[in-house]
Structure 1
Amino acid sequence: MRPLEGVFVLDLSTLLPGPMATLMLAEAGAEVVKVERPGRGEEMRTYAPKWGRDSVNFALLNRGKKSIAVDLKDPPERERLRPLVERADVVVEQFRPGVMARLGLSYDEVRKINPRAIYCSITGYGQSGPKRDAAGHDLNFIGDTGLLSLSMGELGHPVVPPALIADIAGGAYPAVMNILLALRDRDRTGSGTHIDVAMSDNLFTFMYWALGNGLAAGEWPGNGTDLVTGGTPRYRLYATADAKMLAAAPIEQKFWEAFCEVVGLPEGLRDDAVDPAATTAAIVERVAEKPAEHWRERFRIADCCCSIVADVEEALCDPHFRARGLFSHVLAGEAGARIAALPVPVANAFRAPPGTEIEAPALGAHNVEYF
């Protein structure tokens, strides 16, 4: 038995943060019912690339859920949700503040029907504050909080981060964590609660070191100036002769000394506190003399926190991740199509057995079951 079996989740969220949060709940055994608009369903169904009738993004994020099609703007249609609200342990919504109130489904309205319901609202800026109604996407949230300023490339060559940090780390993960805390609290009190997940709020946690440097020492970090943002030769990327990248992170002195030996750094440049720029330049020159495979083997032997950057396809083929069973869960599609399910941070002990074929729902596929 999985730990969330018996937990009923009514999911009114779309796109990434909410659906990823409810995916994790579903993987742990919760019954997740996705409420979608009739006709097209949620927007992510239309994204490219398609994988059968819907996008592969939708399929990955909604594996194991059920779908009902309900027009929330139509009062008689909306009233059909009442029995589901009455039995819901968790309600997840991702509209802008005030929208659920206009639909008659605010936390206060839901609480009247079901005082035990845990109601999780996920937004960019939260349910209160001057920015609560502002539109935004991940790039705006990481920009507003200062996170982007720590490593955004050069002015002439700005770099957009490769992950949707706010959506996932600021939205989906905190939503799951707080839903589980609220379920535990309900065991004690018998009452539900309203969880206000503001994606931007939760980004400050990732800048613990930057906040500490600024608040305690008055040393506010800049763009790529500090230890973990490339401001030292001990933590940065170096190009190899065949246009690949060495990810070098020999921070500790014992690792740094081993690193210097491998690249053949002159003794006069090994104290990187003397002239960091000169040390960096010398490493750049030496790493660029040899191809990635040369460095991969040398650093494997040295074992000093250095590796060759893999592309996504290479990472999926990595024997380590394969041995860990990371891609052993199966997403089932139409006409026998099968791909690896999205890896999620839920322990295998709490999920369906690896190899179990689970699909994402067709739009409104479960209306008959619930209405």
Structure 2
Amino acid sequence: MSGPLDGLRVLDLSRLLPGPFCSLLLGDLGADVLKVEDTGMGDYVRWSPPYVEGVEDSARSAYFLALNRNKRSIRLDLKSEAGREVLLRLVRDADVLLESFRPGVLDRLGVGYDRLRGENPALVYCAITGYGQDGPYRDRAGHDMNYLGLGGMLALTGEAGGPPVQNAGQVADVGGGALMAAVGILAALQERARSGEGQFVDVSMTDGALSWLAMLAAQQLVAGPGDPPLRRGQLPLSGAFLCYRPYACADGWVTFGALEPKFFGAWCRGVGREDLVEQQFQPPGSDAHREVEAIFAARTREQWTAFAAEHDCCLEPLLELEEALDSELVRAREMVVALDQPGAAEPVRQLGLPIKLSRTPGEPTRAPGPVLGGDTDAVLEAAGYGAEEIAALKEAGAVAGPVSGAQGSFLG
């Protein structure tokens, strides 16, 4: 079955999480994604535990496999002239180039956007960075927490009077970076279909994360001089109301999202406490909140799950990750898939594709994650290099094939 992005050729020079997650989506949807890695350790995440036993060293990281299925790998030394020439030849037939270096790195190597556009004017070039291609922070290093801190999201996350709370998921990396890059790439490709020209897609993870605060920023931007600033624990959807909070029950936690009066009323009637209906928007710490806490604490999570099946009130169990991955919902939505990885004793389980297309669905299990440089020879041959030329490139260190043995860890 052909995917919706069949025929799209992507050169992915990115590493770690944001870029590879973006190209993971493109690859799952049918794009031909080629990881362009250096002749050293390649994508750093390759060497990070936990490992899948029996798999070749450079492809045994569970993190790497989860982000890099449906891709191929070539190793190039972009610090060498011959390695850069290989990249330029590959760019001529590519539709997209994705990278996540700091601004200016590829320019200094002589293979920045202007140079690549000279080889292929139709190329869509996407750069994911922490702070964008311009502005006062363009050259700074950063990670997800830094971007969320500068964009205001971290300050608003947590209980009133308590410390900021870090999210378990990388909101800026994935939501602000990878997803925005995927949208930007597809938008540029759509425009290219009209104009025939590619363009530069500038994705800042800080910009992207800030955009997630669309409604709260709108509130802050129209606030008058006397309006109080927004603070964590005091926002309608993150702690201000007793009707929209997690609650401890007898043996765990549940999530109560009865923001609309009809849902809160259904819960009150279900527990025989219609007197609480008018208390829906009382804050944490109020008498009404303490009563609601006591009601939740009196039943088990299973009892509340049964209650929610009978009363439509936006109440669900709060699952630990291992429970969520084995849940009826996740199984029904095919959000856990299994891939045959060479060397592994059994298929490797990973998250599935969250985008469901009715006529041309994606195929997350099409191919496993590649070993480092495992496709170097095949890619060079397809690009027109002869056997002697490939041997010369390897001898010069401009390219490299598969490597055995761990090269280190980006966490080490």
TM-score bin, normalised by smaller chain: over 0.9
**Identity of aligned pairs, percent?**
38
Superposition deviation, residue 261 in structure 1: 2.7
**Could you list the runs of 5+ residues in structure 1 that have no partner in the other structure?**
none
| Match 2:85 to one of 58, 76, 79 | 79
Residue equivalent to 1:320: 329
Q: Which deviates more from structure 2 when the two are superposed, residues 88-97 or residues 295-304?
A: 295-304
User: Any residues of structure 2 matched to 1:125-164 within 5 Å, and which?
Assistant: 125-153=131-159, 158-164=164-170
TM-score normalised over the length of structure 1: 0.93
**Could you list the runs of 5+ residues in structure 2 that have no partner in the other structure?**
381-412
Q: Aligned partners of 2:28, 2:360: CA distance in 1, in Å?
A: 8
Superposition deviation, residue 303 in structure 1: 1.7
Change (3 A) 1:265 1:148: farther
RMSD: 2.0
Change (3 A) 1:45 1:275: closer
User: Any residues of structure 2 matched to 1:8-23 within 5 Å, and which?
Assistant: 8-23=9-24
Residue equivalent to 1:246: 254
Superposition deviation, residue 42 in structure 1: 1.2
Q: Aligned partners of 1:194, 1:207: CA distance in 2, in Å?
A: 25
Change (3 A) 1:202 1:66: same
Residue equivalent to 1:267: 275
User: Any residues of structure 2 matched to 1:89-238 within 5 Å, and which?
Assistant: 89-153=95-159, 158-218=164-224, 219=227, 220-238=229-247
8 A contact 2:265–2:274 mirrored in 1: no
User: Any residues of structure 2 matched to 1:18-29 within 5 Å, and which?
Assistant: 18-29=19-30
* One-letter amino acid of the structure 2 residue matched with residue 305 of structure 1: C
Superposition deviation, residue 86 in structure 1: 1.1
Residue equivalent to 2:404: none
* One-letter amino acid of the structure 1 residue matched with residue 18 of structure 2: P
Q: Aligned partners of 2:168, 2:207: CA distance in 1, in Å?
A: 20
SS, match of residue 133 in structure 2: coil
| Match 1:58 to one of 61, 64, 71 | 64
Q: How many residues align?
A: 369
Superposition deviation, residue 266 in structure 1: 6.5
By relative contact order (CA 8 Å, sep 6+), the higher-ranking structure is 2
8 A contact 1:67–1:366 mirrored in 2: yes
Q: Which deviates more from structure 2 when the two are superposed, residues 169-178 or residues 207-216?
A: 207-216
Q: Aligned partners of 2:220, 2:161: CA distance in 1, in Å?
A: 23
Q: Aligned partners of 1:172, 1:186: CA distance in 2, in Å?
A: 21
Change (3 A) 1:37 1:275: closer
Q: Aligned partners of 1:268, 1:19: CA distance in 2, in Å?
A: 49
* One-letter amino acid of the structure 1 residue matched with residue 72 of structure 2: K
Residue equivalent to 1:47: 48
Q: Which deviates more from structure 2 when the two are superposed, residues 292-301 or residues 89-98?
A: 292-301
TM-score normalised over the length of structure 2: 0.84
Superposition deviation, residue 212 in structure 1: 2.2
* One-letter amino acid of the structure 2 residue matched with residue 22 of structure 1: S
SS, match of residue 372 in structure 2: coil
Residue 286 (str. 1) matches residue 295 (str. 2): yes
Output one character per residue of 1:140-194: Cα deviation in whole Å (capped at 9) or x when no partner.
1011010111113466655211110001100111111111111111111111100
Change (3 A) 1:268 1:120: closer
SS, match of residue 203 in structure 1: helix
Output one character per residue of 1:51-72: Cα deviation in whole Å (capped at 9) or x when no partner.
2323111111110101001111
Q: Aligned partners of 1:256, 1:72: CA distance in 2, in Å?
A: 60
8 A contact 1:27–1:346 mirrored in 2: no
Output one character per residue of 1:11-57: Cα deviation in whole Å (capped at 9) or x when no partner.
10000111011111111111111011123221000111012323111
8 A contact 1:41–1:363 mirrored in 2: yes
Change (3 A) 1:32 1:265: same
* One-letter amino acid of the structure 2 residue matched with residue 350 of structure 1: T
* One-letter amino acid of the structure 2 residue matched with residue 191 of structure 1: E
Change (3 A) 1:28 1:340: same
Superposition deviation, residue 204 in structure 1: 2.3
Superposition deviation, residue 358 in structure 1: 2.0
Change (3 A) 1:164 1:347: same
8 A contact 1:269–1:275 mirrored in 2: no
Change (3 A) 1:275 1:248: closer
Q: Aligned partners of 2:87, 2:141: CA distance in 1, in Å?
A: 28
